[in-house]
Amino acid sequence: MNTQPLGPPIRWGIIGVGDVTESKSGPGFQEARGSELVAVMRRDGAKAADYARRHGVPRWYDDADALLADPDVDAVYVATPPSSHHDYTVRAAAAGKPVYVEKPMARTAAECESMISACEAAAVPLFVAYYRRAMPRFVTVNDLLHGGALGDVRAVTVRLQSPAPTWGPGPMPWRLQPEISGGGLFVDLGSHTLDLLDLLLGPISHASGVATSRDGRYPAEDTVAATFTFGSDVVGAGLWDFNAQDRLDEIEIIGSAGTLHFSSFGQEPLRLTTSTGLREIAAPYPQTVQLPLIQTVVDALTGRGECPSTGASALRTAHAVDSILAAYRDASAPRA
The DSSP call for residue 220 is S
Kindly tell me the burial class for residue 294, based on how many C-beta atoms sit within 10 Å of its own C-beta (0-12, 13-18, 19 or more): buried
- The pLDDT > 90 percentage for the chain reads 95
> Does 63 have pLDDT greater than 90?
yes
Give residues with Cβ within 8 angstroms of 8, minimum separation 6: none
The pLDDT of 319-325, averaged and rounded, is 98
d(CA 128, CA 103): 6
- For the full predicted model, state whether its pTM sits above 0.85: yes
Q: Report the pLDDT value the prediction gives residue 32, as an integer from 0 to 100.
A: 98
> Does 44 have pLDDT greater than 90?
yes
Both 125 and 195 in one domain: the answer is no
Q: 292 in a domain, yes or no?
A: no
The pLDDT of 219-223, averaged and rounded, is 96
> Does 128 have pLDDT greater than 90?
yes
Give residues with Cβ within 8 angstroms of 117, minimum separation 6: none
Q: 305 in a domain, yes or no?
A: no
The DSSP call for residue 160 is E
- Helix 109-122 to helix 311-332 angle (10° resolution) is 150
Q: Which helix (H) or strand (E) holds 116?
A: helix 109-122
Domain interval for residue 197 = 133-287+319-332
> Does 28 have pLDDT greater than 90?
yes
Both 177 and 225 in one domain: the answer is yes
Q: 190 in a domain, yes or no?
A: yes
SS3 281: strand
First and final C-alpha spacing in the chain: 59
> Does 31 have pLDDT greater than 80?
yes
Both 127 and 184 in one domain: the answer is no
Give residues with Cβ within 8 angstroms of 174, minimum separation 6: 81, 180, 181
| Count of domains observed in the chain | 2
The b/e string for 161-185 (b: 16+ C-beta within 10 A; e otherwise) is bbebbeeeeeeebebbbbebbbbbb
What are the tens digits of pLDDT across the range 132-187? 999 999 999 999 999 999 999 999 999 999 999 999 999 999 999 999 999 999 99
Q: 5 in a domain, yes or no?
A: no
Q: Report the pLDDT value the prediction gives residue 1, as an integer from 0 to 100.
A: 47
Both 167 and 222 in one domain: the answer is yes
Domain-ending residue, one of 131, 155, 181: 131
Domain-ending residue, one of 79, 96, 131: 131
- The pLDDT > 70 percentage for the chain reads 97
